[in-house]
Structure 1
Amino acid sequence: MTRNVLHSSLLNAGFSIIFQIICRFVTFGINAFIVRNVGRDVLGVMNVRLLLLESTLLFLSREAINRAALSATSQQKDKCSWPQLINQMWLTVPTCIALCIPCTYIWLDVLTPVDDHLKSQYKFACYAVALSCVIELCAEAPVFLTQVFCFVKLKIFLNTLHIMVRSALFIWIVLKDHSIAIDAFAIAQLASAIVIFIGHYAFFYFYIKRLNEHKSNKKNDQKEDDPMFQSMDDFPFQRLSELLPFYMENKDTYFNPKLQILTLSFIKQGVLKQILTEGEKYVMSMSPVLSFSEQATYDVVNNLGSLAARFIFRPIEESSYFYFTQTISRDVQLEKQNIAKVHEAGNVLKTLCIGVTSIGLLAFTFGQSYSHTLLLIYGGADFVAGGLPESLLKWHCLAICFMAVNGITEGYMFATNTSKDIDKYNYLMAIFSISFLILSYILTSVFGPVGFIFANCINMFCRICYSTKFILHQYRPLGMNPLLGIIPGNLFILALITTGLLSKYSMITMNSLLVHVGIGFVGVSVCLCCWGIEHLDLLKMAWKKGKQLKIKKT
């Protein structure tokens, strides 16, 4: 395809960051409303138990299939046909249905029971969440096309519409009756899934129709300079029905065997990754370590502490994974690939490491002085009473540093690993997963909810060690070391230490909240200026690239 993968990846990351910010503001507003008006128990049921069910079903149903299919679109050797890829994406639906049966049983009859007055609502919500996952995955084929052909604006628009419909419907129902908050959550989930389904198929219906008209006019020498269809002459679909499963016009087999092998490797990896990602929620749900109220407190603090991960790290990781899969071949050594592309990928990886590490250190430094302030504004004096939320958030800022490095290095490794390497890593992931669950239970029994954060930090540190070793070994023959980006500059470190100490002094001595926040704002600004001075060449390059893309677009 003639699309600019790097440009589209950067654009996707930028729009995704904006989308995540909007979504988090909406979600935080709803959570604050529930904490103050409905109760923490209800928030714990929705945000821990029910969202865990949604996360489990969606992740296990599509993550492995999607990652394998993305790799297949970029490899010339043994490349899959489009009907095979569409069939591959439709596998997510029966997979989800098969998972719904045991998962709903476990959520209803095995996990720690909810309070009696919430049981009927909780039962309805479990079924509704399962059904919404199936509906959402019925749109996975057009979602995949949106990603592969870089329809960035469509992705952001529909994701924004999805979250807005879910939030607006939930608030509208709850404002009428606070006692049916869980029912409102379930109805909102179903409605938003239907929006995703209709939105994607409606867009591609009209897009394919207009694309066919554009090709017809071009064939008849009727000039039509429509920017929507530039570089899309290779779009392989002529009818919406071709996005349905088992639509085959040639003698291809329904599925590509080699793609299934890669998918199986990602499935084993996906199960383990899901345990690592949501491990603390599984521990909370399967054992009476914390009450639903305490679970809600941990979830609120976890969401606040994960602002950087959700706003910045996750969009960057998703876009960089897509970029690396399209740039680096899995089964060919780097020195035998296109050297220009390999050097570009190495420089991109180094730049990403510089950016995310700096963000993580900023969050850790200023989180020690502004955790109490943020929680006080968010949940009120009653919420911060006792000091547990503040302690959780401070330690979570340490975890952000590990998240920053682990997300990029492990994402690169997953994007460039061979199937054999992935299988090898799966064994380590199994050890990491089991160790994480055991550590979570032990450390939580000793330190309380903070133990989840300690266990997570230890786990991510082990994974970082493995992925960095892989990257060093891969780039050593080329004389490159993209991991140098993990080490921040001396001026930036000095600025962090100085401003961090001043902010801590301000927290202890200042009585004015406004002055304390102002000192933090100045401190962050100084750190960013020092970072910019040390990486002036990087800023100039980004500015130059931006101007070139703007000129090219016009």
Structure 2
Amino acid sequence: MKGPEFLAGAAKAATYNMLLQLSIRAMTFFLNAVVLRYISKDMLGVVNVRLTLLYSTTLFVSTEAFDQAGLSKIEGKNWTQVVNLMWCSWPVSIIICGILSIVWLFALTPPDPEDIPYYGWGVVSFALSTIIAVLARPHYIVGQAHLFVKLRVLSVGLSELAKCLTVVYLVINFPNLGLISFSLGQIVREVTYTLMYYLTFYWYTSDKSKPEDFVFQTPRDFLPQKPKDKKYLDDYMVSLTGSFFKQSLLKQFLTEGEKYVMTLFNVFNFGDQGIYDVINNLGSMVPRFIFMPLEESGRLFFSQTLIRGKTYRDQSNESLDLASRVLYSLLRVVMLIGIVILVFGYAYSFLTLDLYGGAVLSDGAGPTLLRWYCLYVLILAINGITECFYFATMSQTQIDQYNQRMVVFSVIFLGSSLLLTSWFESVGFILANCINMCTRIAHSVFFIHEYYQGSTYRPLLGLLPSKSLLLSLAISFVITVTSEITFCCDAGIYYRLLHIGIGGVCFIAVIGTILLTEAELVSFVWEYLLRFKSSKQVKKE
């Protein structure tokens, strides 16, 4: 698949992923809104922080390194060897789940069994769900590499829906089950997810009308087997996986850092953890809905367009030009979205929390926490795009060097989070995350600068907003903050609507400024939207 075609496919994947993330967040908010009326805040904290952290840790550590190696663009890649490598992640998941389950059961302080019954069942079930999910990893990687976008969207969306329906039904009708309700929901989710991948590829490979050049022709090809005239595993991919595995441990700690600090150091009780998690989910809606799909599609595009470990001089001119334009545009897009969220989020954090959760969320530190989270969203967005380029192009030696630097990042984050939470409580987590992401951005930006040094490409200029945009944002910030002080939020509904209306007018003015001053970016996005549309029409014909 050529670069422009793959970019169109990646754009399609990003679009569907955004819709997927929106659906998942909507289901999660619905689930929280319902179950909060039937369970305690402590129960919410145990499920959404401690048990979800166990699941995310075991899944990420068990699969991230294999995913990175399997999706890398490598000369002479053999897909049978890729499948064999991906199956190695399953025994790894069993080992990881076993070790961390023991830690969660015996090393961490357990919740009160009278308030939170069946904690042991919860730990075992969430660990088991990881092992079930990893069974579909070979199918997932093949689907990602060959842009089975709808499959990924449907598998994740329907499995999440099955989980939500199961949990809501059990919590309402069997309130005495405690964590068993959430445990069964988690198992149902991963069984649904895995079955969808197996059934889809069983049907696809059995379909005689499938493309002849598809890498697998029968369902048996997704199982481990010895490739012809080659070793069972490719030595380079195995070495690459080892390097990524060291990195994945530290990357997971830095990604879920605040939850690890909560879990390991007990800085908050389970009830406070539950409230923090609700606000954190609300603040992370845009990163999950927009930035994460862009990051995933960007990483997939760069890994398939540029040869890993090669300098820009060793890349084809077409691939380098396209990759540079895409990197510039992605940085520009996330910078614009992030800075708009930062400006408008300050004046509308209190109103958002008050409308969503009432005084439980809007009283106290909630609005301040969400305002700082808006800054974190901007930093997080920039880090995601710079790192996806970095991880897709760096050599194995650079991967090993980065692993050492990740240790430094981890120490900085741990120290700053413990210090800042003692000073600013929950807001300290956001500040520590900002510091952590800024150090990682600095590292990735330096790599990108060095990568393009000597060439005519300057993709990092995508991070610099225009003066006219900064002026319009500054004016909008002053107007919306003044509006919040004057009309919001103890006044009646009409004053709140007036505050929302003022913000809407300012937002339209900012969007208009972006459309007028970002002609190159708009042209690029429009070009590939047309390419994406034409590719769909060709497929239909």
Structure 1 length normalisation: TM-score? 0.93
Matches within 5 A, 1:164-203: 164-203=161-200
| Structure 1 contact 440–455 (Cα < 8 Å) conserved | yes
Task: Structure 1: state its 5+ residue gaps.
Answer: 215-228
Shift of 1:2: 6.1
The residue number in structure 1 matching 2:529 is 546
Shift of residue 177, structure 1, vs aligned partner = 3.0
Q: Cα 1:285–1:503, aligned 2, differ >3 Å: closer, same or farther?
A: same
Q: 2:81–2:227: 8 Å Cα contact kept in structure 1?
A: no
Decide whether the 8 Å contact of 1:82 with 1:236 is kept in 2. yes
SS of residue paired to 2:215: coil
User: What secondary structure is seen at the aligned counterpart in 1 of 2:437?
Assistant: helix
Paired residue for 1:493?
470
Q: Give 1:421's aligned residue.
A: 398
Name which of structure 1's ranges 542-551 and 429-438 shifts more when overlaid on structure 2: 542-551
Query: What residue number does 2:18 align with?
Result: 17
2: CA distance between counterparts of 1:88 and 1:126?
28
1:162 counterpart = 2:159: yes
Code of the residue aligned with 2:56 in structure 1: it is S
The Cα RMSD (Å) is: 1.5
Spell out, residue by residue over 1:11-57, the C-alpha distance to the aligned partner (whole angstroms, 9 max, x if none): 10110011101110111122233334422111100100010000000
Q: For the Cα contact (< 8 Å) 2:420–2:429, is it kept in 1?
A: yes
**CA shift digits 1:126-182 (9 cap, x unpaired):** 111111111111011111111011111111111111111111111111121334352
Amino acid across the alignment from 2:533: K
Structure 2, unaligned stretches of length 5 or more? Answer: none
Q: CA deviation at 1:542?
A: 2.7
More displaced stretch, 537-546 vs 401-410? 537-546
SS of structure 1 residue aligned to 2:453: helix
C-alpha distance in 2, partners of 1:282/1:522? 41
Quote how far apart the aligned CAs of 1:541 are.
3.6
- 1:359 aligned residue (332, 337, 340): 337
Matches within 5 A, 1:52-67: 52-67=53-68
Measure how far apart 1:70 and its partner are: 0.6
The alpha-carbon distance between structure 1 residues 394 and 552, as it changes in their structure 2 partners (threshold 3 A), is: closer
Residue among 280, 289, 310 paired with 1:332: 310
1:240 to 219, 238, 247: 219
Determine the structure 2 residue equivalent to 1:299: 277
Letter in 2 for 1:158: S
Q: In structure 1, what residue type is equivalent to 2:219?
A: L
- Asked whether the 8 Å contact 1:5–1:323 carries over to 2, the reply is yes
Structure 2 counterpart of 1:222:
none
**Aligned residue for 1:35?**
36
Residues in 2 aligned to 1:523 and 1:337: alpha-carbon distance in whole angstroms: 44
2:501 aligns to what? 518
Task: Tell me the secondary structure at the aligned position of residue 454 of structure 2.
Answer: helix
| Count of residues in correspondence between the two structures | 530
User: Sequence identity, in percent?
Assistant: 36
CA deviation after TM superposition for structure 1 residue 106, in Å: 0.8
Hey, what does 1:69 align to over in structure 2?
70
The normalised TM-score by structure 2 is: 0.95
State whether structure 2 residue 514 is matched by structure 1 residue 536: no
**Partner Cα separation in structure 1 for residue 177 and residue 65 of structure 2:** 36
Separation of aligned partners in 2, 1:146 and 1:89: 13
Tell me whether 1:376 sits opposite 2:360 in the alignment: no
What code does the residue aligned with 1:238 have?
Answer: Q
Separation in structure 2 between the aligned mates of residue 375 and residue 552 of structure 1, nearest angstrom: 42
Distance 1:493 1:434 in 2: 35
Task: Pick one of 126, 130, 148 that aligns with 1:133.
Answer: 130
Deviations 1:302-351 (A, max 9, x none): 11111111111111000000000011112221122101210110110000
- In 1, Cα distance between the equivalents of 2:202 and 2:34? 39
Q: After superposition, what is the alpha-carbon deviation per residue over 1:492-535, rounded to whole angstroms, capped at 9, x for unaligned?
A: 11111111111111111113211112222222221111111111
The 4+ residue runs of structure 1 with deviation greater than 4 A are none
Written as runs of structure 1 = structure 2, the 5 A alignment for 1:236-315 is 236-245=215-224, 247-248=225-226, 250-315=228-293
Give, in whole Å, the separation in 2 of the partners of 1:552 and 1:262: 34
- Give 1:47's aligned residue: 48
- 1:376-455 to structure 2, matched below 5 A, reads 376-385=354-363, 387-455=364-432
**Residues 551 and 180 (structure 1), Cα distance of their counterparts in 2 relative to 1, 3 Å cut:** same
Residues 32 and 378, structure 1, Cα contact 8 Å, conserved in 2: no
